[in-house]
């Protein structure tokens, strides 16, 4: 069901500094910037091969990334797998007995459809399913 790594989400305290660091160090330019209120983040995407690096800034302390920064500090927040259908992916994981965060597909950035799977289900890694469009 996994077609590709869509992105790796990285929680940062200072988004502009992190973006500049990536630009200067790796010689890459941001491909997309978006605020996703429903997820409580502002994100910047760098395209790398068929995937993205997603730098995440929390919109406030009481958001998933805000709580993560408070408890764990900066670092990898989640891994996103690209799938053909998020709905089919959720159905499959639910049928296999895995703990989901989102029971229904939601709207992500870039017009994608997304859903999150609980980190307790997969070895302490928060997983996001991403479907283009
Ligand atoms: N990766 C791995 N483990 C994580 C985690 C993460 N990103 N965030 C929390 N956890 C762990 C905690 O360490 C904790 O473990 P213990 O019970 O062993 O201490 C447990 O999960 C519960 O953590 P918490 O801080 O009490 O829980 P939260 O209220 O922060 O909820 C989670 C955690 C994963 C359910 C919540 O962050 C969530 O719903 N995430 C999905 C949405 C999201 O992350 N949006 C931002 C990204 C948007 C995007 O990519 O577009
Ligand atoms: Co993401």
User: Considering every ligand atom, which ligand is closest to the CA of 61?
Assistant: 1
Q: Distance, CA 64 to ligand 1 centroid (Å)?
A: 6
pTM for this predicted structure: 0.97
User: Which single residue is written with the structure tokens 């993560």?
Assistant: 68
User: Is the pLDDT at 49 greater than 90, yes or no?
Assistant: yes
Confidence of residue 133 (pLDDT cuts 50, 70, 90): confident
pLDDT mean over 38-50:
97
Q: Distance, CA 41 to ligand 2 centroid (Å)?
A: 10
* In contact, 77 and 87? CB cutoff 8 Å: no
């Amino acid at each position: 069901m996994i077609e590709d790594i869509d992105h790796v989400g990285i929680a940062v305290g200072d988004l502009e500094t992190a973006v500049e660091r990536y630009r200067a160090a790796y010689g890459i330019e941001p491909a997309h910037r978006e605020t996703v209120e429903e997820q409580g983040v502002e994100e910047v995407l760098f395209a790398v091969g068929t995937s993205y690096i997603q730098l995440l800034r929390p919109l406030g302390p009481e958001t998933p990334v805000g709580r993560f920064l408070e408890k764990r500090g900066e670092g990898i927040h989640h891994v996103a797998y690209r799938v053909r259908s998020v709905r089919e992916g959720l159905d499959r994981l639910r049928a296999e007995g895995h703990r989901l965060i989102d029971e229904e597909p939601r709207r992500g950035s870039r017009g994608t459809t997304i859903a999150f799977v609980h980190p307790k289900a997969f070895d302490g890694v928060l997983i996001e399913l991403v479907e283009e469009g």
